[in-house]
Structure 1
Protein backbone atom coordinates (compact mmCIF):
# COMPACT_ATOMS: atom_id res chain seq x y z
CA UNK A 1 0.00 0.00 0.00
CA UNK A 2 1.12 3.51 -0.81
CA UNK A 3 -0.21 6.72 0.77
CA UNK A 4 0.31 9.96 -1.10
CA UNK A 5 -0.97 13.50 -1.32
CA UNK A 6 -3.65 13.72 -4.03
CA UNK A 7 -5.53 16.52 -5.72
CA UNK A 8 -8.15 16.83 -8.43
CA UNK A 9 -6.24 14.65 -10.91
CA UNK A 10 -7.94 11.85 -8.91
CA UNK A 11 -11.30 13.63 -8.75
CA UNK A 12 -13.34 10.85 -10.41
CA UNK A 13 -11.83 8.11 -8.22
CA UNK A 14 -12.29 10.22 -5.06
CA UNK A 15 -15.93 11.03 -5.84
CA UNK A 16 -16.69 7.41 -6.76
CA UNK A 17 -15.13 6.05 -3.55
CA UNK A 18 -16.74 8.58 -1.20
CA UNK A 19 -20.24 8.76 -2.69
CA UNK A 20 -20.52 4.96 -2.90
CA UNK A 21 -19.70 4.62 0.79
CA UNK A 22 -21.90 7.53 1.90
CA UNK A 23 -24.95 6.79 -0.23
CA UNK A 24 -24.97 3.07 -0.98
CA UNK A 25 -23.30 1.57 2.06
CA UNK A 26 -24.51 3.88 4.86
CA UNK A 27 -27.54 5.57 3.26
CA UNK A 28 -26.33 9.01 4.32
CA UNK A 29 -28.49 11.49 2.37
CA UNK A 30 -25.59 13.47 0.91
CA UNK A 31 -24.85 14.27 -2.73
CA UNK A 32 -21.91 15.64 -4.68
CA UNK A 33 -23.70 19.02 -4.68
CA UNK A 34 -23.52 18.95 -0.85
CA UNK A 35 -19.74 18.48 -1.08
CA UNK A 36 -18.35 21.15 -3.46
CA UNK A 37 -14.93 20.66 -1.82
CA UNK A 38 -14.53 17.44 -3.82
CA UNK A 39 -14.51 19.45 -7.05
CA UNK A 40 -11.92 21.95 -5.78
CA UNK A 41 -9.53 20.01 -3.53
CA UNK A 42 -6.59 22.37 -4.06
CA UNK A 43 -8.38 25.53 -2.96
CA UNK A 44 -10.47 23.91 -0.23
CA UNK A 45 -7.81 21.74 1.45
CA UNK A 46 -4.29 22.67 0.34
CA UNK A 47 -4.47 26.47 -0.01
CA UNK A 48 -5.39 27.15 3.67
CA UNK A 49 -2.64 24.73 4.83
CA UNK A 50 -4.38 21.37 4.91
CA UNK A 51 -3.92 18.24 2.85
CA UNK A 52 -5.79 15.42 1.12
CA UNK A 53 -4.27 11.92 1.24
CA UNK A 54 -5.11 8.83 -0.77
CA UNK A 55 -4.23 5.20 -0.04
CA UNK A 56 -3.51 3.11 -3.10
CA UNK A 57 -3.19 -0.66 -3.54
CA UNK A 58 -1.94 -1.76 -6.97
CA UNK A 59 -2.78 1.67 -8.37
CA UNK A 60 -6.37 1.60 -7.11
CA UNK A 61 -7.62 4.31 -4.69
CA UNK A 62 -8.89 2.41 -1.64
CA UNK A 63 -8.95 5.11 1.03
CA UNK A 64 -8.95 8.86 1.67
CA UNK A 65 -8.50 11.31 4.51
CA UNK A 66 -8.37 15.09 4.37
CA UNK A 67 -7.47 17.99 6.62
CA UNK A 68 -9.12 21.42 6.59
CA UNK A 69 -7.03 23.96 8.49
CA UNK A 70 -9.52 26.49 9.84
CA UNK A 71 -7.27 28.58 12.08
CA UNK A 72 -3.55 28.80 12.88
CA UNK A 73 -3.62 25.95 15.42
CA UNK A 74 -6.70 23.88 14.58
CA UNK A 75 -7.91 21.69 11.75
CA UNK A 76 -10.82 19.44 10.93
CA UNK A 77 -10.49 15.87 9.66
CA UNK A 78 -12.72 15.21 6.70
CA UNK A 79 -13.31 12.57 4.05
CA UNK A 80 -12.03 9.57 6.04
CA UNK A 81 -13.24 6.69 3.89
CA UNK A 82 -11.87 3.21 3.19
CA UNK A 83 -13.38 0.76 0.70
CA UNK A 84 -15.28 -1.95 2.54
CA UNK A 85 -13.06 -4.81 1.34
CA UNK A 86 -9.94 -3.01 2.63
CA UNK A 87 -11.16 -2.17 6.14
CA UNK A 88 -10.02 -3.70 9.37
CA UNK A 89 -6.91 -4.82 11.19
CA UNK A 90 -5.58 -6.88 8.29
CA UNK A 91 -4.92 -3.86 6.08
CA UNK A 92 -4.63 -1.06 8.71
CA UNK A 93 -5.40 1.51 6.00
CA UNK A 94 -7.49 3.83 8.18
CA UNK A 95 -4.84 3.69 10.91
CA UNK A 96 -2.02 4.53 8.51
CA UNK A 97 -4.01 7.35 6.89
CA UNK A 98 -4.77 8.84 10.31
CA UNK A 99 -1.16 8.52 11.48
CA UNK A 100 0.12 10.31 8.36
CA UNK A 101 -2.48 13.05 8.83
CA UNK A 102 -1.45 13.51 12.48
CA UNK A 103 2.23 13.65 11.49
CA UNK A 104 1.41 16.27 8.84
CA UNK A 105 -0.56 18.25 11.44
CA UNK A 106 2.24 18.20 13.99
CA UNK A 107 4.83 19.21 11.37
CA UNK A 108 2.62 22.15 10.41
CA UNK A 109 1.94 23.56 13.88
CA UNK A 110 -1.58 22.25 14.32
CA UNK A 111 -2.31 21.64 18.00
CA UNK A 112 -5.95 20.52 17.86
CA UNK A 113 -7.76 18.17 15.51
CA UNK A 114 -11.54 18.08 15.37
CA UNK A 115 -14.00 16.04 13.37
CA UNK A 116 -17.68 15.64 12.86
CA UNK A 117 -19.38 12.41 11.90
CA UNK A 118 -22.78 10.77 12.03
CA UNK A 119 -23.92 8.52 14.87
CA UNK A 120 -24.73 5.67 12.45
CA UNK A 121 -20.98 5.22 11.83
CA UNK A 122 -20.31 3.32 15.06
CA UNK A 123 -17.16 1.58 13.81
CA UNK A 124 -15.71 4.98 12.88
CA UNK A 125 -16.48 6.33 16.34
CA UNK A 126 -14.79 3.35 17.99
CA UNK A 127 -11.79 3.85 15.70
CA UNK A 128 -11.43 7.50 16.73
CA UNK A 129 -11.86 6.67 20.44
CA UNK A 130 -9.14 4.00 20.10
CA UNK A 131 -6.92 6.76 18.70
CA UNK A 132 -7.47 9.01 21.75
CA UNK A 133 -10.13 11.27 20.30
CA UNK A 134 -12.62 12.49 22.90
CA UNK A 135 -16.30 13.00 22.07
CA UNK A 136 -17.35 16.60 22.67
CA UNK A 137 -20.62 18.53 22.36
CA UNK A 138 -21.35 20.65 19.32
CA UNK A 139 -21.20 23.68 21.64
CA UNK A 140 -17.61 22.81 22.60
CA UNK A 141 -16.41 23.13 18.99
CA UNK A 142 -14.37 26.22 18.08
CA UNK A 143 -16.61 28.93 16.61
CA UNK A 144 -14.76 28.72 13.29
CA UNK A 145 -15.10 24.91 12.95
CA UNK A 146 -16.46 24.13 9.45
CA UNK A 147 -19.70 22.30 10.23
CA UNK A 148 -21.14 19.74 7.84
CA UNK A 149 -24.93 19.47 7.80
CA UNK A 150 -25.33 15.72 8.49
CA UNK A 151 -22.79 15.58 11.36
CA UNK A 152 -24.22 14.96 14.81
CA UNK A 153 -21.22 13.57 16.73
CA UNK A 154 -18.05 15.58 17.28
CA UNK A 155 -14.58 14.61 18.47
CA UNK A 156 -11.37 16.36 19.50
CA UNK A 157 -7.73 15.30 19.75
CA UNK A 158 -5.10 17.49 21.39
CA UNK A 159 -1.80 16.85 19.61
CA UNK A 160 1.55 16.43 21.36
CA UNK A 161 3.76 19.38 20.58
Structure 2
Protein backbone atom coordinates (compact mmCIF):
# COMPACT_ATOMS: atom_id res chain seq x y z
CA UNK A 1 0.00 0.00 0.00
CA UNK A 2 1.20 3.52 -0.76
CA UNK A 3 2.29 5.46 2.32
CA UNK A 4 0.19 8.52 1.37
CA UNK A 5 -3.06 6.52 1.41
CA UNK A 6 -5.04 6.84 4.65
CA UNK A 7 -5.53 3.73 6.76
CA UNK A 8 -9.16 3.29 7.75
CA UNK A 9 -10.41 0.98 10.49
CA UNK A 10 -14.06 -0.08 10.90
CA UNK A 11 -15.25 -0.46 14.48
CA UNK A 12 -18.50 -0.63 16.38
CA UNK A 13 -19.77 2.72 17.64
CA UNK A 14 -19.07 3.63 21.25
CA UNK A 15 -20.37 6.73 23.02
CA UNK A 16 -16.89 8.23 23.19
CA UNK A 17 -17.27 8.94 19.44
CA UNK A 18 -20.77 10.47 19.63
CA UNK A 19 -19.87 14.15 19.08
CA UNK A 20 -17.52 13.16 16.24
CA UNK A 21 -20.35 11.23 14.58
CA UNK A 22 -22.71 14.22 14.85
CA UNK A 23 -20.01 16.47 13.39
CA UNK A 24 -19.39 14.15 10.44
CA UNK A 25 -23.10 13.83 9.67
CA UNK A 26 -23.55 17.60 9.89
CA UNK A 27 -20.70 18.07 7.39
CA UNK A 28 -22.16 15.59 4.92
CA UNK A 29 -25.67 16.99 5.28
CA UNK A 30 -24.39 20.53 4.71
CA UNK A 31 -22.76 19.33 1.49
CA UNK A 32 -26.27 18.43 0.25
CA UNK A 33 -27.95 21.56 1.60
CA UNK A 34 -29.32 20.05 4.80
CA UNK A 35 -28.54 22.23 7.80
CA UNK A 36 -30.50 20.46 10.55
CA UNK A 37 -28.96 19.29 13.81
CA UNK A 38 -28.47 15.50 13.59
CA UNK A 39 -29.26 15.18 17.29
CA UNK A 40 -32.87 16.11 16.48
CA UNK A 41 -33.28 12.80 14.63
CA UNK A 42 -34.65 10.22 17.07
CA UNK A 43 -32.06 7.56 16.27
CA UNK A 44 -29.08 9.92 16.18
CA UNK A 45 -30.06 11.48 19.48
CA UNK A 46 -29.78 8.07 21.12
CA UNK A 47 -27.09 6.17 19.20
CA UNK A 48 -26.21 4.02 22.20
CA UNK A 49 -29.64 2.36 22.07
CA UNK A 50 -31.17 2.99 18.63
CA UNK A 51 -29.35 0.16 16.83
CA UNK A 52 -29.32 -2.66 19.37
CA UNK A 53 -32.21 -4.99 18.37
CA UNK A 54 -31.59 -8.22 16.48
CA UNK A 55 -28.92 -7.84 13.81
CA UNK A 56 -28.95 -4.02 14.11
CA UNK A 57 -25.71 -2.14 14.70
CA UNK A 58 -23.87 1.13 14.19
CA UNK A 59 -20.27 1.31 12.94
CA UNK A 60 -17.75 4.04 12.32
CA UNK A 61 -14.78 4.32 9.99
CA UNK A 62 -11.76 5.86 11.72
CA UNK A 63 -8.59 7.26 10.21
CA UNK A 64 -5.89 8.95 12.29
CA UNK A 65 -8.18 9.07 15.36
CA UNK A 66 -10.89 10.82 13.34
CA UNK A 67 -14.35 9.58 12.35
CA UNK A 68 -14.45 9.62 8.53
CA UNK A 69 -17.54 7.48 7.94
CA UNK A 70 -20.61 5.96 9.56
CA UNK A 71 -23.01 3.17 8.68
CA UNK A 72 -25.79 1.35 10.48
CA UNK A 73 -28.22 -1.50 10.11
CA UNK A 74 -31.77 -1.54 11.46
CA UNK A 75 -33.24 -5.04 11.79
CA UNK A 76 -36.83 -4.88 10.52
CA UNK A 77 -37.58 -8.56 11.12
CA UNK A 78 -38.60 -11.31 8.71
CA UNK A 79 -35.15 -11.31 7.07
CA UNK A 80 -35.32 -7.63 6.11
CA UNK A 81 -32.64 -5.24 7.31
CA UNK A 82 -32.27 -1.55 6.46
CA UNK A 83 -29.02 0.27 5.85
CA UNK A 84 -29.12 3.71 7.43
CA UNK A 85 -26.80 6.57 8.29
CA UNK A 86 -24.29 5.69 5.56
CA UNK A 87 -22.05 8.77 5.44
CA UNK A 88 -18.44 9.20 4.33
CA UNK A 89 -16.46 12.43 4.35
CA UNK A 90 -15.88 13.72 0.83
CA UNK A 91 -12.10 13.27 0.95
CA UNK A 92 -12.55 9.59 1.93
CA UNK A 93 -14.96 8.69 -0.89
CA UNK A 94 -13.93 6.94 -4.06
CA UNK A 95 -11.92 3.86 -4.86
CA UNK A 96 -8.47 5.06 -3.76
CA UNK A 97 -9.15 4.69 -0.05
CA UNK A 98 -12.29 2.55 -0.35
CA UNK A 99 -13.97 3.66 2.87
CA UNK A 100 -17.52 3.35 1.53
CA UNK A 101 -16.80 -0.08 0.06
CA UNK A 102 -15.28 -1.31 3.31
CA UNK A 103 -18.28 -0.03 5.29
CA UNK A 104 -20.74 -1.64 2.86
CA UNK A 105 -18.86 -4.95 2.86
CA UNK A 106 -18.91 -4.91 6.67
CA UNK A 107 -22.67 -4.27 6.74
CA UNK A 108 -23.42 -7.00 4.20
CA UNK A 109 -21.33 -9.52 6.12
CA UNK A 110 -22.97 -8.58 9.43
CA UNK A 111 -26.46 -8.70 7.91
CA UNK A 112 -25.85 -12.16 6.44
CA UNK A 113 -24.42 -13.45 9.71
CA UNK A 114 -27.53 -12.10 11.45
CA UNK A 115 -29.79 -14.08 9.12
CA UNK A 116 -31.01 -11.23 6.91
CA UNK A 117 -32.08 -12.15 3.39
CA UNK A 118 -32.64 -8.64 2.01
CA UNK A 119 -30.83 -5.36 2.64
CA UNK A 120 -32.75 -2.18 1.79
CA UNK A 121 -32.12 1.56 1.92
CA UNK A 122 -33.60 4.93 1.16
CA UNK A 123 -31.76 7.95 -0.20
CA UNK A 124 -32.34 11.31 -1.86
CA UNK A 125 -32.02 12.25 -5.53
CA UNK A 126 -29.04 14.55 -4.94
CA UNK A 127 -26.80 11.61 -4.04
CA UNK A 128 -26.01 10.62 -7.62
CA UNK A 129 -22.57 9.16 -6.82
CA UNK A 130 -24.06 7.13 -3.96
CA UNK A 131 -26.73 5.76 -6.28
CA UNK A 132 -24.05 4.63 -8.75
CA UNK A 133 -22.15 3.04 -5.84
CA UNK A 134 -25.23 1.12 -4.67
CA UNK A 135 -26.07 -0.05 -8.19
CA UNK A 136 -22.43 -1.11 -8.80
CA UNK A 137 -22.76 -3.25 -5.67
CA UNK A 138 -25.89 -5.04 -6.89
CA UNK A 139 -28.64 -2.94 -5.32
CA UNK A 140 -31.79 -2.66 -7.41
CA UNK A 141 -33.95 0.47 -7.37
CA UNK A 142 -37.50 -0.40 -6.32
CA UNK A 143 -40.71 1.57 -5.81
CA UNK A 144 -41.37 2.83 -2.29
CA UNK A 145 -44.44 0.57 -2.12
CA UNK A 146 -42.23 -2.53 -2.33
CA UNK A 147 -40.61 -1.83 1.06
CA UNK A 148 -41.96 -1.08 4.55
CA UNK A 149 -40.53 2.45 4.35
CA UNK A 150 -42.56 3.67 7.31
CA UNK A 151 -40.29 1.49 9.47
CA UNK A 152 -36.94 2.80 8.25
CA UNK A 153 -37.02 5.62 5.69
CA UNK A 154 -36.31 9.26 6.47
CA UNK A 155 -38.92 11.82 5.49
CA UNK A 156 -36.70 13.22 2.75
CA UNK A 157 -35.95 9.82 1.14
CA UNK A 158 -37.34 9.61 -2.38
CA UNK A 159 -35.36 6.69 -3.87
CA UNK A 160 -35.33 3.14 -2.54
CA UNK A 161 -33.07 0.17 -3.15
CA UNK A 162 -32.83 -3.45 -2.12
CA UNK A 163 -30.10 -6.06 -2.30
CA UNK A 164 -30.87 -9.79 -2.03
CA UNK A 165 -28.48 -11.42 0.45
CA UNK A 166 -29.54 -15.06 0.18
Q: How many residues align?
A: 159
Aligned residue for 1:9, secondary structure, equals: helix
Q: Which residue of 2 aligns with 1:15?
A: 22
Shift in alpha-carbon separation, 1:110–1:142, aligned structure 2, 3 A: same
Shift in alpha-carbon separation, 1:11–1:133, aligned structure 2, 3 A: same
Runs (4 or more) in structure 1 with deviation over 6 Å come to none
1:113 aligned onto 2:124: no
- Given candidates 61, 66, 70, the residue that maps to 1:64 is 70
Give TM-score scaled by structure 2 length: 0.89
Aligned residue for 1:36, secondary structure, equals: coil
Give the whole-Å Cα distance in 2 for the aligned partners of 1:139 and 1:47.
24
User: Structure 1 residue 48: deviation in Å?
Assistant: 4.1
Map 1:36-47 → 2, pairs under 5 A: 36-47=42-53
- Given candidates 59, 64, 75, the residue that maps to 2:81 is 75
- Given candidates 137, 150, 153, the residue that maps to 2:156 is 150
Give the whole-Å Cα distance in 2 for the aligned partners of 1:71 and 1:7.
24
Q: Aligned-residue CA RMSD in angstroms?
A: 1.5
Q: Which runs of 5+ in 2 are unaligned?
A: 1-7
